[in-house]
A = this chain, B = another copy of it.
Amino acid sequence: MREVYVVGIGITSFSRLEYPLVEIAGYPAMMALKDAGLSSVDHVYVANMGAGRLNKQTGLASAVVDHLALTPAGAEAIENGPASGASAIKQGYMAVASGLHDTVLVTGAERMRAANSLETTDFVATLTHPLAEYIYGVTLPSLAGMFTRLYMDKYGVTSRHLSMVAVKAHANAMLNPFAHLHELITMDGIEDGPDAGTNNPMVADPLRFYDCCPVSDGGACLILATGEVAKKLKKPMVRLAGVGQATDTHAVHERKDPTEVTAVRLAAQQAFGMAGFKPSQVDVAELHDAFTILEIVESEEAGFFKKGEGHKALEKGLTKIGGQIPINTSGGLKAKGHPVGATGVGQAHEIVLQLRGEAGARQVKGAKRGFTCNFGGFGNNVVCLAFQREG
């Protein structure tokens, strides 16, 4: 296999965006082309989950390649629920590694806020099992609520721990100009103070308002290329060193123990195995905290902390910027935002920024190795990526 490098990156604000989906995909791609110093690529992938339903559009990849004047490059849209972004990066990896293409542009885009919120909630719920979950009225927050309760009971995680994830995420997002939520929150405001109940109402017991990510529009782009191309372009040499992916039962209740998120464990092990480094050597990670509990769980399953000890590490501040392993420096899904199809590409964008030393006020000093975990369904299809700065 040929080695694969990231030679260009781009991102939109994650927010409500009042322009067409094809432009949400196109704008970060133009930034990435400019960043790379390229005006054409061999192939294009578009990561997206909702175009058919929310935006009544198919053939999105063809529209994007045309919009960017990148024809006759081939193009596809990749859908893997909220893990569509990292799945598309995996396709880009294979396209370059196989020798079929030398330069591949991967852009993720979602326009969710064009639909009303009931429609959006129902749309997101369609990623649950159609016959065993969805038809009984399961939504993602309700599923996450039940999961969180099990985790609290088993490992002694409390509501305070969940709020610590939110407070850290919002603090990091204050340092990220592209983040959706620029709102500094405190433990006093959402947990301990007299107004905490009003400020942070229950959504799906035990998850409250500040435990849930916002619904965002947004796009993010990565350009992948061979080592030869990367050297020619004189960009910092950030290598996509490992790719891992695993699935689990589609319905959560069919798992022997739902608190064991096996797909994260397997996907992380694959990514680290391929990259040739260990979780303890990672300098910065982006985990898929669509709900606060997920950052804690993934920090364990990915191997940064022992099972059941993620919340203790959080308490000790080990996952803050400046800590042992800073997690979600971007603000995470919780505060940076979660435009579903774009999220995985956005996570990779943050890691590349960090490994290039271009993350500004939220820079992790001397970061050389990075990791992302993009969590599809409710843990039924997970893609992990490992990145390494060379030279």
- A residues sitting closer than 8 Å to B (CB atoms) are 1, 20, 22, 43, 49-53, 56-63, 65-67, 70-81, 84, 87, 90-91, 93-95, 97-100, 122-123, 126-131, 243, 245-251, 262-263, 266-267, 376-377, 380-381, 383
Which residues of chain B have C-beta atoms less than 8 A from A97's C-beta?
Answer: 98-100
Cβ A50 vs Cβ B58 within 8 A: yes
Copies of this chain in its oligomeric complex? 2
Which residues of chain B have C-beta atoms less than 8 A from A65's C-beta?
Answer: 247, 381
Task: From A67, A80, A126, A247, name the one whose CB has the most chain B CB atoms within 10 angstroms.
Answer: A247
Cβ B52 vs Cβ A243 within 8 A: no
Cβ A126 vs Cβ B59 within 8 A: yes
Closest to A22 in B: B130
Cβ A247 vs Cβ B59 within 8 A: no
Cβ A76 vs Cβ B52 within 8 A: no
Identify the 8 closest CB pairs spanning chains A and B, nearest first. A74-B245, A52-B52, A98-B98, A66-B250, A59-B127, A59-B81, A72-B246, A52-B53
Closest to A250 in B: B66
State the CA gap A156–B81 with chains docked (Å).
48
Which residues of chain B have C-beta atoms less than 8 A from A20's C-beta?
Answer: 130-131
Closest to A55 in B: B130
Cβ A71 vs Cβ B249 within 8 A: yes
Closest to A265 in B: B72
Which residues of chain B have C-beta atoms less than 8 A from A245's C-beta?
Answer: 43, 74
- Identify A381's interface contact among B74, B251, B381, CB under 8 A: B74
Q: A130-B63, A376-B62 are in contact. Are A80 and B91 (CB under 8 A)?
A: no
Closest to A246 in B: B72
CB distance from A21 to the nearest CB of B (A): 8
Cβ B123 vs Cβ A58 within 8 A: yes
Which residues of chain B have C-beta atoms less than 8 A from A62's C-beta?
Answer: 80-81, 127, 247, 250, 376-377, 380-381
Cβ A79 vs Cβ B100 within 8 A: no
Q: A66-B249, A72-B247, A73-B247 are in contact. Are A380 and B59 (CB under 8 A)?
A: yes
Which residues of chain B have C-beta atoms less than 8 A from A60's C-beta?
Answer: 79
CB distance from A84 to the nearest CB of B (A): 8
CB distance from A383 to the nearest CB of B (A): 7
Which residues of chain B have C-beta atoms less than 8 A from A126's C-beta?
Answer: 52, 56-59
Known: A59-B250, A60-B79, A73-B247. 18 other contacts (CB 8 A): A22-B130, A43-B245, A50-B52, A52-B52, A52-B126, A53-B58, A57-B130, A59-B128, A65-B247, A66-B247, A71-B246, A72-B246, A72-B248, A74-B381, A76-B78, A76-B90, A94-B94, A98-B98
Which residues of chain B have C-beta atoms less than 8 A from A43's C-beta?
Answer: 245
Closest to A73 in B: B247
- Identify A94's interface contact among B58, B91, B243, CB under 8 A: B91
Cβ B91 vs Cβ A61 within 8 A: no
Show 16 A/B contacts (Cβ-Cβ < 8 Å), sorted by A. Answer: A59-B81, A59-B126, A59-B127, A59-B377, A61-B80, A63-B129, A72-B246, A74-B87, A74-B247, A74-B381, A74-B383, A75-B80, A76-B78, A76-B90, A78-B79, A93-B100
